[in-house]
Amino acid sequence: MSNKAKRIAIFRFCAPAASKLLSNSKQQLYLCPICGRGYSEESAITGKELTLEDVPPRNMGGRGLLLTCKECNSKAGYKIDYHIKSQLDLQDLAGIFMGQSGGGKSSGTMLINDERFPITVQRKDGCTEIKLIKKANDPTKVNNLKDFMTALSVNGGGDGLEFNINKTVKLDYRLLKIAFLKSGFLLVTAMLGYRYAFDKRLLIVREQISNPEKDLLGTCFWIEQGKAQPFPKRRIISVSDPLPLFLVTYDNGAVILPNPLSPTDIYAIIRKKWEKEQSINFTGKIYEWPEKALMILDSHN
Ligand SMILES: [Zn+2]
């Protein structure tokens, strides 16, 4: 299915739910789940104002689950989703050197005697292969590198010879967590629909996603793997105990989101809990991440 066909399909699936929500609306509109603004089908057809949102971001294996307005999509992409990519880049590079990566490729800079050589690295046949990026390297310096590498192999393991590999990425951990909050919010919205997204409990979440530069929630919504009992990865957990909430789990942690039964000040309660307790045990039902928009709460009412 083309992106255009996907946008139209999502529009047509969600717009009736939006009409129900805006009971006085005669026009079919799609509401951007983040900012709540309404858009006509024309916006989905042209893709100028409504864009397919990969949830979670594509580099985490996400798919176009929902539409968000161009402003929300590009603002978030630039300010927050970017940090997921940075973290994955670092993990890939580390994984390749630890022999964990399954065919992944990464890049960095090799530092030898204060000279810098841009390189790509990948895992190949059980070895770590380092390649110079031809276009990015000064050919006159490459000869020095050849000499160094020859010395390294002649030395049999290179006793006393050292090189470093560096990678510089822009990574802000608070913004990274907000990127996960946004993905989690959109995953649960795809599952439950507009009635969930526009519940008053979610107002603070949507504000935080729209304004990542403002620190509205701190990081109390984030649970590092290890701070709670081990949880299944990439799931939505509908928690009933110690209090009703959703956990959206990722590979290294999870985000806490309100659910329709949560107290309105759920984050204040969670913050107090973290102050008092080292870890929290959660009990609840586990769901797969949705593979398409389901809008369960909207269509059943
Ligand atoms: Zn929007």
**What mean pLDDT is predicted for residues 11-33?**
87
pLDDT at 138 over 80: yes
How far does the centroid of ligand 1 lie from the alpha carbon of residue 237, in Å? 26
List, as ranges, residues with CB under 5 A of the ion ligand 1. Answer: 32, 34-35, 69, 72
Output the CA 53–ligand 1 centroid distance in Å: 11
> What is the reported pLDDT for 267?
96
Highest mean pLDDT among 21-30, 253-262, 275-284: 253-262
pLDDT digits (tens, 9 = 90+) for 141-169: 888 888 887 877 776 655 667 788 888 88
pLDDT at 82 over 90: no
Given a contact cutoff of 8 angstroms between Cβ atoms, the answer to whether 201 and 261 are in contact is no
Cα(259) to ligand 1 centroid in Å equals 21
**73: CA distance to ligand 1 center in Å?**
7
* The predicted structure's pLDDT at residue 301: 44
Asked if pLDDT for residue 78 goes beyond 80, the answer is no
| pLDDT score of 231 more than 60 | yes
pLDDT at 111 over 80: yes
Which ranges of the chain does DSSP label H, i.e. alpha helix? 3-21, 41-46, 70-76, 82-97, 139-154, 173-192, 194-197, 203-210, 266-276, 296-299
pLDDT of residue 159: 66
> In this predicted structure, what is the pLDDT of residue 25?
64
* pLDDT value of position 287: 97
Q: What pLDDT was estimated at residue 239? A: 96
Q: How far is the CA of 33 from the centre of ligand 1 (A)?
A: 7
Q: How far is the CA of 72 from the centre of ligand 1 (A)?
A: 4
**What is the pLDDT, as a whole number, of residue 193?**
96
pLDDT value at residue 141: 84
Which of the four pLDDT bands, split at 50, 70 and 90, describes residue 129?
confident
Say if CB 181 and CB 55 are below 8 A apart: no
pTM score, whole prediction: 0.84
Mean pLDDT score of the chain:
88
pLDDT surpassing 50 at residue 1: yes
Q: What is the CA(69)–ligand 1 centre distance, in A?
A: 4
Q: How many CB atoms lie within 10 A of CB 175?
A: 18
Tell me: pLDDT of 11 over 80.
yes
Ligand 1 centroid, distance to 101 Cα (angstroms): 36
Cα(22) to centroid(ligand 1), Å: 17
Residue 71 CA to ligand 1 centre (angstroms): 6
Task: Give residue 144's pLDDT.
Answer: 80
- Residue 251 Cα distances to 9, 81, 126, 224, 247, angstroms: 30, 16, 24, 10, 13
Instruction: Tell me, in angstroms, the distance from the centre of ligand 1 to residue 50's CA.
Output: 8
User: Tell me, what's the pLDDT at 208?
Assistant: 95
Does the structure show a pLDDT above 60 at 103? no
The share of the chain scoring above pLDDT 90, in percent, equals: 53
In tens, the pLDDT along 177-219 reads 999 999 999 999 999 999 999 999 999 999 999 999 999 999 9
Distance of alpha carbon 105 from alpha carbon 122, whole angstroms: 5
Q: Measured in angstroms, how far is the CA atom of residue 220 from the centroid of ligand 1? A: 24
118, 106 Cβ separation under 8 angstroms: no
CA of 276 to the centre of ligand 1 (A): 37
**Ligand 1 centre from 35 Cα, in Å?**
4
In this predicted structure, what is the pLDDT of residue 70? 94
Write the DSSP string, 147-161: HHHHHHHHTTS-TT-
